[in-house]
Chains A and B, each alone.
Chain A
Amino acid sequence: MAAETGTPTTLTLKSNDDELFSVAESAAILSVTIRNMVEDGCAGGVIPLDNVDGKTLASVITYMNGISAIPADEEKKKSYRDKFLSDKDFETLADMVLAANYLNMSCLMDAVSAKIAQVMEKKSVGWVRRKFGIENDYTPEEEAAVKEEHKWTFEGVETDDDN
Protein backbone atom coordinates (compact mmCIF):
# COMPACT_ATOMS: atom_id res chain seq x y z
CA MET A 1 0.00 0.00 0.00
CA ALA A 2 1.43 3.35 -0.95
CA ALA A 3 1.22 6.50 1.04
CA GLU A 4 -1.34 8.95 -0.19
CA THR A 5 -0.45 12.57 -0.48
CA GLY A 6 -1.84 13.52 2.86
CA THR A 7 -4.44 16.01 3.87
CA PRO A 8 -3.42 17.46 7.25
CA THR A 9 -5.43 14.79 9.04
CA THR A 10 -3.76 11.80 7.42
CA LEU A 11 -0.64 10.16 8.85
CA THR A 12 1.80 7.83 7.18
CA LEU A 13 3.00 4.88 9.24
CA LYS A 14 5.96 2.72 8.32
CA SER A 15 6.29 -0.88 9.48
CA ASN A 16 9.64 -2.46 10.35
CA ASP A 17 9.62 -4.21 6.97
CA ASP A 18 9.27 -0.85 5.22
CA GLU A 19 5.62 -1.00 4.24
CA LEU A 20 3.85 2.35 4.24
CA PHE A 21 0.29 2.87 5.42
CA SER A 22 -1.83 5.96 5.48
CA VAL A 23 -4.37 6.36 8.19
CA ALA A 24 -6.62 9.14 9.44
CA GLU A 25 -5.01 10.91 12.37
CA SER A 26 -8.23 10.69 14.35
CA ALA A 27 -8.06 6.88 14.14
CA ALA A 28 -4.29 6.60 14.59
CA ILE A 29 -4.23 8.53 17.86
CA LEU A 30 -6.01 5.61 19.54
CA SER A 31 -2.38 4.66 19.94
CA VAL A 32 -0.89 6.71 22.75
CA THR A 33 2.56 6.14 21.23
CA ILE A 34 1.44 7.74 17.94
CA ARG A 35 -0.51 10.45 19.73
CA ASN A 36 2.60 11.47 21.63
CA MET A 37 4.58 11.64 18.38
CA VAL A 38 1.87 13.81 16.80
CA GLU A 39 1.84 16.10 19.82
CA ASP A 40 5.64 16.34 19.74
CA GLY A 41 5.40 17.37 16.11
CA CYS A 42 7.16 14.30 14.73
CA ALA A 43 4.26 13.34 12.55
CA GLY A 44 5.05 15.60 9.63
CA GLY A 45 6.76 12.96 7.57
CA VAL A 46 6.63 9.23 7.95
CA ILE A 47 6.16 7.68 11.40
CA PRO A 48 8.44 4.66 11.74
CA LEU A 49 7.09 1.86 13.93
CA ASP A 50 10.14 -0.29 14.49
CA ASN A 51 8.46 -3.05 16.47
CA VAL A 52 5.53 -3.84 14.17
CA ASP A 53 5.64 -5.74 10.89
CA GLY A 54 3.51 -4.86 7.86
CA LYS A 55 1.04 -7.72 8.22
CA THR A 56 0.30 -6.86 11.84
CA LEU A 57 0.21 -3.14 11.21
CA ALA A 58 -2.34 -3.62 8.42
CA SER A 59 -4.51 -5.52 10.88
CA VAL A 60 -4.11 -2.90 13.60
CA ILE A 61 -5.07 -0.14 11.14
CA THR A 62 -8.18 -2.07 10.13
CA TYR A 63 -9.04 -2.15 13.82
CA MET A 64 -8.28 1.56 14.31
CA ASN A 65 -10.54 2.51 11.41
CA GLY A 66 -13.29 0.11 12.44
CA ILE A 67 -13.44 1.06 16.09
CA SER A 68 -13.17 4.82 15.57
CA ALA A 69 -16.09 4.71 13.13
CA ILE A 70 -18.34 3.49 15.95
CA PRO A 71 -19.88 6.24 18.05
CA ALA A 72 -19.52 6.14 21.83
CA ASP A 73 -21.49 2.97 22.38
CA GLU A 74 -19.52 0.54 24.49
CA GLU A 75 -21.66 -2.45 23.57
CA LYS A 76 -21.27 -1.88 19.82
CA LYS A 77 -17.53 -1.41 20.28
CA LYS A 78 -17.32 -4.62 22.21
CA SER A 79 -19.17 -6.60 19.57
CA TYR A 80 -16.91 -5.08 16.89
CA ARG A 81 -13.82 -6.17 18.86
CA ASP A 82 -15.24 -9.67 19.37
CA LYS A 83 -15.94 -10.01 15.66
CA PHE A 84 -12.59 -8.53 14.68
CA LEU A 85 -10.70 -11.06 16.79
CA SER A 86 -12.94 -14.07 16.21
CA ASP A 87 -11.06 -15.54 13.24
CA LYS A 88 -7.49 -14.75 14.33
CA ASP A 89 -5.13 -17.63 15.07
CA PHE A 90 -2.76 -17.70 18.03
CA GLU A 91 0.29 -16.41 16.13
CA THR A 92 -1.66 -13.41 14.83
CA LEU A 93 -3.02 -12.72 18.32
CA ALA A 94 0.50 -12.90 19.76
CA ASP A 95 1.75 -10.38 17.16
CA MET A 96 -1.24 -8.16 17.89
CA VAL A 97 -0.71 -8.17 21.65
CA LEU A 98 2.91 -7.12 21.17
CA ALA A 99 1.87 -4.41 18.72
CA ALA A 100 -0.89 -3.17 21.02
CA ASN A 101 1.59 -3.01 23.87
CA TYR A 102 4.19 -1.15 21.77
CA LEU A 103 1.60 1.25 20.35
CA ASN A 104 0.08 1.68 23.82
CA MET A 105 -3.51 0.97 22.78
CA SER A 106 -5.24 -0.09 25.95
CA CYS A 107 -8.57 -1.13 24.42
CA LEU A 108 -6.89 -3.43 21.89
CA MET A 109 -4.46 -4.74 24.51
CA ASP A 110 -7.36 -5.57 26.77
CA ALA A 111 -9.37 -7.31 24.05
CA VAL A 112 -6.45 -9.33 22.64
CA SER A 113 -5.21 -10.45 26.07
CA ALA A 114 -8.73 -11.58 26.93
CA LYS A 115 -8.98 -13.42 23.61
CA ILE A 116 -5.65 -15.19 24.14
CA ALA A 117 -6.75 -16.20 27.64
CA GLN A 118 -10.00 -17.52 26.23
CA VAL A 119 -8.16 -19.53 23.55
CA MET A 120 -5.66 -21.07 25.98
CA GLU A 121 -8.01 -21.75 28.91
CA LYS A 122 -8.74 -25.38 28.07
CA LYS A 123 -5.51 -26.13 26.21
CA SER A 124 -2.89 -28.63 27.30
CA VAL A 125 0.39 -27.76 28.97
CA GLY A 126 2.21 -28.98 25.84
CA TRP A 127 0.20 -26.64 23.63
CA VAL A 128 1.10 -23.65 25.78
CA ARG A 129 4.80 -24.58 25.72
CA ARG A 130 4.80 -24.84 21.93
CA LYS A 131 2.80 -21.69 21.29
CA PHE A 132 4.67 -19.52 23.76
CA GLY A 133 8.00 -21.13 22.83
CA ILE A 134 8.67 -22.20 26.41
CA GLU A 135 11.27 -24.78 27.24
CA ASN A 136 10.21 -27.40 29.76
CA ASP A 137 12.82 -27.07 32.48
CA TYR A 138 11.27 -29.66 34.81
CA THR A 139 12.78 -33.09 35.29
CA PRO A 140 10.16 -35.78 34.59
CA GLU A 141 9.89 -36.41 38.36
CA GLU A 142 9.37 -32.73 39.16
CA GLU A 143 6.79 -32.35 36.43
CA ALA A 144 4.87 -35.40 37.64
CA ALA A 145 4.89 -34.01 41.18
CA VAL A 146 3.51 -30.61 40.12
CA LYS A 147 0.84 -32.27 37.99
CA GLU A 148 -0.11 -34.63 40.79
CA GLU A 149 -0.66 -31.73 43.15
CA HIS A 150 -3.34 -30.26 40.89
CA LYS A 151 -4.54 -33.41 39.21
CA TRP A 152 -8.17 -32.34 38.99
CA THR A 153 -7.27 -29.30 36.88
CA PHE A 154 -6.40 -31.61 33.98
CA GLU A 155 -10.02 -32.70 33.65
CA GLY A 156 -11.59 -31.38 30.47
CA VAL A 157 -8.34 -30.42 28.72
CA GLU A 158 -8.87 -30.21 24.96
CA THR A 159 -6.91 -32.46 22.65
CA ASP A 160 -4.28 -30.42 20.85
CA ASP A 161 -5.28 -29.22 17.43
CA ASP A 162 -2.60 -26.55 17.27
CA ASN A 163 -4.99 -23.82 16.30
Chain B
Amino acid sequence: MTAATASTKATTSAPDPADSSTATTVEFRALSKSFGATVALDGLDLTARPGELLALLGPSGCGKTTALRMLAGFERPDSGQVLVDGQDISGVPAHRRDAGMVFQSYSLFPHLTAADNVAFGLKMRRTGAAERRKRAHELLELVGLPQHADRFPHQLSGGQQQRVALARALALRPKVLLLDEPLSALDAKVRVTLREEIRRLQQELRITTVFVTHDQEEALSTADRVAVMRDGRLEQVAAPAELYDTPATAFVAEFVGTMNRLPGVMADGDVEVLGQRLPVRGAAPAQGPVDVLVRPEALEATADGEGRSRVLTAAFHGSVTRLTLSLPDGATVKADVPSHRAATLPAGATVTVTLPQRPVLVDGPTA
Protein backbone atom coordinates (compact mmCIF):
# COMPACT_ATOMS: atom_id res chain seq x y z
CA MET B 1 0.00 0.00 0.00
CA THR B 2 1.36 3.40 -0.86
CA ALA B 3 1.54 6.29 1.52
CA ALA B 4 -1.24 8.04 -0.35
CA THR B 5 -3.61 5.14 -0.09
CA ALA B 6 -2.63 4.56 3.50
CA SER B 7 -3.42 8.17 4.21
CA THR B 8 -6.80 7.90 2.53
CA LYS B 9 -7.63 4.78 4.45
CA ALA B 10 -6.62 6.36 7.72
CA THR B 11 -8.66 9.43 6.95
CA THR B 12 -11.79 7.35 6.71
CA SER B 13 -11.16 5.23 9.75
CA ALA B 14 -9.75 7.46 12.50
CA PRO B 15 -12.13 9.11 14.94
CA ASP B 16 -12.57 12.85 14.88
CA PRO B 17 -11.95 14.89 18.02
CA ALA B 18 -15.04 15.88 19.91
CA ASP B 19 -15.13 19.48 18.80
CA SER B 20 -13.06 20.63 15.92
CA SER B 21 -15.07 23.67 14.90
CA THR B 22 -12.49 26.23 16.05
CA ALA B 23 -9.37 24.10 15.81
CA THR B 24 -6.72 24.41 13.15
CA THR B 25 -5.75 22.28 10.18
CA VAL B 26 -2.07 21.84 9.41
CA GLU B 27 -0.91 20.60 6.06
CA PHE B 28 2.50 19.71 4.69
CA ARG B 29 2.30 19.80 0.92
CA ALA B 30 5.08 18.25 -1.21
CA LEU B 31 7.62 19.40 1.36
CA SER B 32 11.26 18.82 0.47
CA LYS B 33 14.45 19.77 2.25
CA SER B 34 18.10 18.78 1.86
CA PHE B 35 21.08 19.55 4.05
CA GLY B 36 24.00 19.30 1.64
CA ALA B 37 23.90 15.81 0.17
CA THR B 38 21.51 14.56 2.87
CA VAL B 39 17.84 14.52 1.93
CA ALA B 40 15.84 15.24 5.06
CA LEU B 41 12.40 15.51 3.46
CA ASP B 42 11.45 14.12 0.11
CA GLY B 43 8.05 15.39 -0.96
CA LEU B 44 6.18 14.98 2.32
CA ASP B 45 2.39 15.18 2.06
CA LEU B 46 0.61 15.04 5.38
CA THR B 47 -2.36 16.66 7.08
CA ALA B 48 -3.09 17.13 10.76
CA ARG B 49 -6.82 17.48 11.24
CA PRO B 50 -8.43 20.10 13.47
CA GLY B 51 -7.97 19.30 17.13
CA GLU B 52 -6.15 16.02 16.65
CA LEU B 53 -2.85 14.87 18.08
CA LEU B 54 -0.78 13.65 15.17
CA ALA B 55 2.42 11.81 16.05
CA LEU B 56 5.35 11.79 13.63
CA LEU B 57 7.14 8.52 14.25
CA GLY B 58 10.26 7.16 12.66
CA PRO B 59 13.90 6.28 13.15
CA SER B 60 16.63 8.91 13.52
CA GLY B 61 17.16 10.85 10.32
CA CYS B 62 13.73 10.10 8.86
CA GLY B 63 12.86 13.81 8.67
CA LYS B 64 10.25 14.02 11.39
CA THR B 65 12.01 16.77 13.34
CA THR B 66 12.79 18.68 10.15
CA ALA B 67 9.08 18.67 9.29
CA LEU B 68 8.21 19.97 12.75
CA ARG B 69 10.89 22.66 12.59
CA MET B 70 9.49 23.80 9.26
CA LEU B 71 6.08 24.12 10.83
CA ALA B 72 7.66 26.10 13.68
CA GLY B 73 9.49 28.35 11.22
CA PHE B 74 13.03 27.32 12.17
CA GLU B 75 13.78 25.75 8.78
CA ARG B 76 12.82 26.84 5.31
CA PRO B 77 11.65 24.22 2.81
CA ASP B 78 13.57 23.84 -0.45
CA SER B 79 10.22 23.29 -2.10
CA GLY B 80 6.64 22.66 -1.07
CA GLN B 81 4.37 24.44 1.34
CA VAL B 82 3.34 24.46 4.97
CA LEU B 83 -0.30 25.44 5.32
CA VAL B 84 -2.19 26.38 8.46
CA ASP B 85 -5.92 26.64 7.93
CA GLY B 86 -5.23 26.75 4.21
CA GLN B 87 -2.82 29.69 4.43
CA ASP B 88 0.74 29.15 3.23
CA ILE B 89 2.96 30.18 6.14
CA SER B 90 6.28 29.14 4.57
CA GLY B 91 7.46 32.77 4.48
CA VAL B 92 6.14 33.80 7.90
CA PRO B 93 8.89 34.27 10.53
CA ALA B 94 8.86 31.91 13.50
CA HIS B 95 7.75 34.52 16.03
CA ARG B 96 4.62 35.32 14.03
CA ARG B 97 3.49 31.76 13.44
CA ASP B 98 1.21 31.34 16.41
CA ALA B 99 2.69 27.96 17.26
CA GLY B 100 3.74 26.98 20.79
CA MET B 101 6.60 24.55 21.02
CA VAL B 102 8.05 22.23 23.64
CA PHE B 103 11.61 21.15 22.92
CA GLN B 104 13.48 17.92 23.48
CA SER B 105 16.13 19.49 25.69
CA TYR B 106 15.14 21.58 28.66
CA SER B 107 14.55 24.96 27.13
CA LEU B 108 13.32 27.06 30.03
CA PHE B 109 15.05 30.42 30.30
CA PRO B 110 17.46 29.85 33.20
CA HIS B 111 17.34 33.45 34.45
CA LEU B 112 13.55 33.50 34.84
CA THR B 113 11.27 31.81 37.36
CA ALA B 114 8.67 29.31 36.25
CA ALA B 115 5.99 32.02 36.29
CA ASP B 116 8.19 34.42 34.32
CA ASN B 117 8.98 31.71 31.81
CA VAL B 118 5.29 31.06 31.26
CA ALA B 119 4.58 34.77 30.99
CA PHE B 120 7.46 35.45 28.61
CA GLY B 121 5.35 35.27 25.46
CA LEU B 122 2.74 37.55 26.97
CA LYS B 123 5.48 40.05 27.78
CA MET B 124 6.58 39.92 24.15
CA ARG B 125 3.01 40.80 23.24
CA ARG B 126 3.12 43.69 25.71
CA THR B 127 0.38 42.29 27.92
CA GLY B 128 0.09 44.10 31.28
CA ALA B 129 1.92 42.68 34.30
CA ALA B 130 -1.28 41.88 36.21
CA GLU B 131 -2.75 39.98 33.28
CA ARG B 132 0.56 38.17 32.74
CA ARG B 133 0.70 37.10 36.35
CA LYS B 134 -2.90 35.87 36.28
CA ARG B 135 -2.42 33.88 33.09
CA ALA B 136 0.89 32.41 34.24
CA HIS B 137 -0.71 31.11 37.43
CA GLU B 138 -3.68 29.74 35.53
CA LEU B 139 -1.37 27.81 33.26
CA LEU B 140 0.85 26.57 36.07
CA GLU B 141 -2.27 25.30 37.75
CA LEU B 142 -3.27 23.61 34.52
CA VAL B 143 0.00 21.67 34.49
CA GLY B 144 -0.16 20.98 38.22
CA LEU B 145 2.65 23.26 39.37
CA PRO B 146 1.04 26.33 40.96
CA GLN B 147 3.27 26.01 44.01
CA HIS B 148 6.41 26.16 41.88
CA ALA B 149 5.75 29.56 40.31
CA ASP B 150 8.75 31.17 42.01
CA ARG B 151 11.20 28.39 41.37
CA PHE B 152 13.99 28.82 38.88
CA PRO B 153 14.55 26.08 36.29
CA HIS B 154 17.56 24.66 38.14
CA GLN B 155 15.30 24.13 41.15
CA LEU B 156 12.86 21.99 39.16
CA SER B 157 13.12 18.34 38.16
CA GLY B 158 13.19 17.39 34.48
CA GLY B 159 9.51 16.49 34.44
CA GLN B 160 8.56 19.73 36.15
CA GLN B 161 10.65 21.71 33.68
CA GLN B 162 8.85 20.12 30.76
CA ARG B 163 5.49 20.86 32.40
CA VAL B 164 6.47 24.50 32.71
CA ALA B 165 7.65 24.43 29.10
CA LEU B 166 4.25 23.06 28.14
CA ALA B 167 2.52 25.85 30.06
CA ARG B 168 4.79 28.39 28.36
CA ALA B 169 3.95 26.95 24.94
CA LEU B 170 0.23 27.29 25.69
CA ALA B 171 0.43 30.79 27.16
CA LEU B 172 -0.27 32.61 23.91
CA ARG B 173 -3.20 30.33 23.08
CA PRO B 174 -1.43 29.14 19.93
CA LYS B 175 -3.25 27.63 16.98
CA VAL B 176 -0.88 24.67 16.93
CA LEU B 177 1.11 22.92 19.64
CA LEU B 178 4.42 21.41 18.56
CA LEU B 179 6.10 18.76 20.69
CA ASP B 180 9.64 17.82 19.69
CA GLU B 181 10.37 14.64 21.64
CA PRO B 182 9.51 16.41 24.90
CA LEU B 183 9.70 13.23 26.97
CA SER B 184 12.90 11.69 25.71
CA ALA B 185 15.12 13.20 28.41
CA LEU B 186 12.88 11.96 31.25
CA ASP B 187 12.98 8.71 33.17
CA ALA B 188 10.48 6.00 32.26
CA LYS B 189 7.94 6.58 35.02
CA VAL B 190 7.77 10.35 34.59
CA ARG B 191 7.57 9.88 30.85
CA VAL B 192 4.41 7.80 31.11
CA THR B 193 2.77 10.24 33.52
CA LEU B 194 3.64 13.28 31.49
CA ARG B 195 2.49 11.82 28.21
CA GLU B 196 -0.88 11.10 29.79
CA GLU B 197 -0.90 14.65 31.08
CA ILE B 198 -0.10 16.03 27.64
CA ARG B 199 -2.89 13.98 26.12
CA ARG B 200 -5.36 15.15 28.76
CA LEU B 201 -4.45 18.79 28.18
CA GLN B 202 -4.53 18.44 24.42
CA GLN B 203 -8.01 16.95 24.54
CA GLU B 204 -9.18 19.48 27.08
CA LEU B 205 -7.95 22.42 25.00
CA ARG B 206 -8.76 20.76 21.66
CA ILE B 207 -5.60 22.15 20.17
CA THR B 208 -4.14 20.68 16.98
CA THR B 209 -0.89 19.07 18.06
CA VAL B 210 2.04 17.63 16.16
CA PHE B 211 4.13 15.34 18.33
CA VAL B 212 7.52 14.11 17.13
CA THR B 213 8.80 10.94 18.73
CA HIS B 214 10.93 7.92 17.96
CA ASP B 215 9.20 5.91 20.70
CA GLN B 216 6.47 3.79 19.14
CA GLU B 217 4.78 3.10 22.46
CA GLU B 218 4.57 6.82 23.14
CA ALA B 219 3.12 7.49 19.71
CA LEU B 220 0.60 4.64 19.79
CA SER B 221 -0.64 5.41 23.29
CA THR B 222 -0.92 9.18 22.89
CA ALA B 223 -1.87 10.07 19.33
CA ASP B 224 -5.15 10.13 17.43
CA ARG B 225 -3.17 9.18 14.36
CA VAL B 226 0.42 8.18 13.81
CA ALA B 227 2.43 9.08 10.71
CA VAL B 228 5.34 6.71 10.21
CA MET B 229 8.18 8.30 8.27
CA ARG B 230 11.22 6.81 6.59
CA ASP B 231 13.96 8.51 4.58
CA GLY B 232 12.06 11.81 4.38
CA ARG B 233 8.88 10.20 3.11
CA LEU B 234 5.59 9.23 4.65
CA GLU B 235 5.33 5.48 4.96
CA GLN B 236 1.83 5.29 6.43
CA VAL B 237 -0.53 7.45 8.45
CA ALA B 238 -3.28 5.77 10.40
CA ALA B 239 -4.94 5.41 13.77
CA PRO B 240 -2.73 3.47 16.24
CA ALA B 241 -4.81 0.28 16.16
CA GLU B 242 -4.95 0.25 12.38
CA LEU B 243 -1.24 0.91 12.15
CA TYR B 244 -0.53 -2.02 14.45
CA ASP B 245 -3.05 -4.48 13.07
CA THR B 246 -2.78 -3.75 9.38
CA PRO B 247 0.57 -2.12 8.65
CA ALA B 248 0.86 -0.98 5.06
CA THR B 249 4.48 -1.94 4.55
CA ALA B 250 7.07 -4.30 5.97
CA PHE B 251 8.92 -1.28 7.38
CA VAL B 252 5.88 -0.09 9.33
CA ALA B 253 5.14 -3.64 10.44
CA GLU B 254 8.61 -4.08 11.86
CA PHE B 255 9.04 -0.55 13.20
CA VAL B 256 5.77 -0.61 15.12
CA GLY B 257 5.70 -3.44 17.63
CA THR B 258 7.46 -6.80 17.41
CA MET B 259 7.23 -8.75 14.19
CA ASN B 260 8.29 -12.29 13.27
CA ARG B 261 9.59 -13.21 9.85
CA LEU B 262 8.54 -16.73 8.88
CA PRO B 263 9.82 -18.41 5.73
CA GLY B 264 6.99 -18.96 3.21
CA VAL B 265 6.43 -19.72 -0.47
CA MET B 266 4.04 -17.92 -2.81
CA ALA B 267 1.67 -20.14 -4.73
CA ASP B 268 -1.20 -18.88 -6.90
CA GLY B 269 -1.60 -15.63 -5.01
CA ASP B 270 -1.57 -17.31 -1.59
CA VAL B 271 1.35 -18.05 0.66
CA GLU B 272 2.28 -21.40 2.17
CA VAL B 273 3.68 -21.07 5.67
CA LEU B 274 3.93 -23.48 8.65
CA GLY B 275 2.11 -26.08 6.54
CA GLN B 276 -0.87 -23.74 6.06
CA ARG B 277 -2.08 -21.84 3.01
CA LEU B 278 -3.06 -18.24 3.77
CA PRO B 279 -4.31 -15.30 1.67
CA VAL B 280 -1.93 -12.39 1.20
CA ARG B 281 -2.61 -8.74 2.06
CA GLY B 282 -0.95 -6.02 -0.04
CA ALA B 283 1.70 -6.37 -2.74
CA ALA B 284 3.49 -9.71 -3.13
CA PRO B 285 5.52 -11.53 -5.75
CA ALA B 286 3.59 -14.08 -7.82
CA GLN B 287 5.92 -16.97 -7.12
CA GLY B 288 8.89 -17.96 -5.01
CA PRO B 289 10.04 -17.70 -1.43
CA VAL B 290 8.97 -14.78 0.75
CA ASP B 291 9.07 -13.70 4.38
CA VAL B 292 5.68 -13.81 6.08
CA LEU B 293 5.28 -11.07 8.72
CA VAL B 294 3.39 -12.20 11.80
CA ARG B 295 2.95 -10.59 15.22
CA PRO B 296 3.87 -12.74 18.29
CA GLU B 297 0.28 -12.64 19.53
CA ALA B 298 -0.96 -14.00 16.18
CA LEU B 299 1.07 -17.20 16.52
CA GLU B 300 -0.78 -20.01 18.26
CA ALA B 301 1.51 -22.40 20.19
CA THR B 302 -0.15 -25.56 21.53
CA ALA B 303 1.53 -28.21 23.68
CA ASP B 304 1.87 -31.31 21.56
CA GLY B 305 4.03 -34.30 22.39
CA GLU B 306 4.43 -34.98 18.69
CA GLY B 307 4.88 -31.32 17.68
CA ARG B 308 7.90 -30.47 15.56
CA SER B 309 8.61 -27.09 17.15
CA ARG B 310 10.25 -26.60 20.52
CA VAL B 311 10.05 -23.96 23.27
CA LEU B 312 13.51 -22.48 23.80
CA THR B 313 12.72 -19.90 26.49
CA ALA B 314 9.66 -18.52 28.28
CA ALA B 315 9.72 -14.94 29.60
CA PHE B 316 6.98 -13.78 31.96
CA HIS B 317 5.55 -10.36 31.00
CA GLY B 318 2.60 -10.12 33.37
CA SER B 319 -0.62 -11.06 31.62
CA VAL B 320 1.27 -12.68 28.75
CA THR B 321 4.34 -14.87 28.54
CA ARG B 322 6.62 -14.52 25.55
CA LEU B 323 7.89 -17.81 24.21
CA THR B 324 10.91 -18.15 21.97
CA LEU B 325 10.23 -21.06 19.64
CA SER B 326 12.46 -23.04 17.35
CA LEU B 327 10.53 -24.03 14.18
CA PRO B 328 11.13 -27.31 12.29
CA ASP B 329 13.28 -25.54 9.68
CA GLY B 330 15.47 -24.03 12.40
CA ALA B 331 13.99 -20.50 12.31
CA THR B 332 13.42 -18.83 15.66
CA VAL B 333 10.20 -16.89 16.35
CA LYS B 334 8.44 -15.19 19.26
CA ALA B 335 4.95 -16.13 20.35
CA ASP B 336 2.83 -14.52 23.10
CA VAL B 337 0.53 -16.78 25.10
CA PRO B 338 -1.69 -15.93 28.07
CA SER B 339 0.38 -16.45 31.21
CA HIS B 340 -2.19 -18.78 32.75
CA ARG B 341 -1.52 -21.16 29.82
CA ALA B 342 2.25 -20.79 29.91
CA ALA B 343 2.64 -23.45 32.63
CA THR B 344 1.89 -26.09 29.98
CA LEU B 345 4.62 -24.69 27.74
CA PRO B 346 7.88 -24.78 29.68
CA ALA B 347 11.29 -24.49 28.05
CA GLY B 348 12.06 -27.73 26.19
CA ALA B 349 8.40 -28.60 25.53
CA THR B 350 7.44 -29.66 22.02
CA VAL B 351 4.63 -27.63 20.45
CA THR B 352 2.62 -27.21 17.31
CA VAL B 353 2.62 -23.68 15.88
CA THR B 354 -0.29 -22.47 13.75
CA LEU B 355 -1.57 -19.22 12.28
CA PRO B 356 -5.15 -17.92 12.18
CA GLN B 357 -6.78 -18.14 8.75
CA ARG B 358 -6.43 -14.42 8.05
CA PRO B 359 -4.63 -12.45 5.27
CA VAL B 360 -0.95 -11.91 6.07
CA LEU B 361 1.67 -9.38 4.96
CA VAL B 362 4.64 -10.72 3.02
CA ASP B 363 7.96 -9.13 2.21
CA GLY B 364 10.05 -9.70 -0.90
CA PRO B 365 11.80 -12.85 -2.03
CA THR B 366 13.88 -14.55 0.64
CA ALA B 367 17.58 -14.14 0.07
Query: Is A bound to B?
Result: no
Binding site for B on A (CB under 8 A): none
